Amino acid sequence: MSTYEQKDNSGAMFVNDKKESETHPDRKGSAMIGGKEYWVSGWVNTSKTGTKYMSLSITEKEAQQAAPQAKAAPAPTAEFDEDIPF
């Protein structure tokens, strides 16, 4: 059995079996475009004339993984006056 290798300028989408709300995509998958990997999400919609279509959102995989994390607050710097009696 061979391992699947994503070919450039291609992708695949599958039914999203983890959909929990209407805002979650109906389909999810991945694609490779220009040698970069992307996440692909799709929502099945119906136009005003009744024609079904799919709207897509494409996000670079690296950009999602490199999302900024909350920075730790800097350690407070306290200046002490040795002349103040306690």
Burial of 35 (0-12, 13-18, 19+ CB in 10 A): exposed
The pTM (predicted TM-score) of the whole model is 0.66
Find which of 6-15, 59-68, 77-86 is predicted with most confidence, using mean pLDDT: 6-15
Residue 73 has pLDDT above 60, yes or no: no
For the residues 35-54, what does the mean pLDDT come to?
Answer: 96
Q: What integer best gives the mean pLDDT of the chain? A: 84
Q: Cβ distance 25 to 17 under 8 Å? A: no
For the residues 10-25, what does the mean pLDDT come to?
Answer: 95
Q: CA-based Rg of the chain, rounded to a whole angstrom?
A: 24
